Amino acid sequence: MADRSGLRWSPWNLLLLVPLLMLVTPWFNTREPVVFGMPFFYWSQFLWVPVGVICVLTVYLRTKNDGVPFPDADPDVDDLDEGARR
């Protein structure tokens, strides 16, 4: 929920940290196992692309309606006027 500073928190957002694990290079900086002639270093990094997509997709689906289309949290008089017109 929005507080006065406008910060909101959803635990799902933590999923966005998962792809950062890809930056731990010692995990995959090896030649074996080779797949289709490609060292592990290369093909394993391609696998992180779907991991990143799934994490962002999950956060997207779980926080879909986080915007404030209407009614606004603290509309002033002018906003209320325009809101009535819609």
Partner 1 sequence: MIQWVELVVFGLLFLLVTVLGFVASRWQSSGSSMDHLDEWGLGGRRFGAWITWFLVGGDLYTAYTFVAVPALMFGAGALGFYALPYTVVLYPIVFLPVLRLWSVSRVHGYVTPADFVRGRYGSSLLAFIVALTGIVATMPYIALQLVGLEAVLRTMGLNGTGFAGHLPLLIAFVILAVYTYQSGLRAPALIAFVKDILIYLVILVAVIYLPARLGGWSAIFGAAEQKFAQPNPTTGQPTGSILLTGNNQLQYITLALGSALALFLYPHSLTGVLASRGRDVLKKNMVALPAYSLLLGLLALLGFVAIAAGSKPITNNATGRPDTNTIIPVLFDGQFPDWFAGVAYAAIGIGALVPAAIMSIAAANLWTRNIYKEYLHKAASPQQEARQAKLASLVVKFGAVAFVLFVDPQFSIDLQLIGGVIILQTLPAVAIALYTRWLHRWALVAGWVVGMGYGLYLLYLIPNPAAGKAHFGGSALTLDKLTVVGWHPFAGSTVQIYVGFVALVLNLVVAVVVSAILHAAKVAPGSDATAGTDYHADEGSSRLKPVADTPVH
Where along the sequence are the contacts to partner 1 (CB under 8 A)? 2-8, 13, 16-20, 22-23, 25-26, 29-31, 34, 36-39, 41-42, 45-46, 48-49, 51-53, 55-57, 59-60, 64, 66-70, 72-75, 79-80, 82-83, 86
11 vs 67 by CB, closer to partner 1: 67
55-79 exposure pattern, b = at least 16 Cβ within 10 A, e = fewer: beeebeeeeeeeeeeeeeeeeeeee
Residue type, 3: D
Q: Which residue is associated with the tokens 């906003």?
A: 79
Closest distance to partner 1 from the beta carbon of 11 (Å): 13
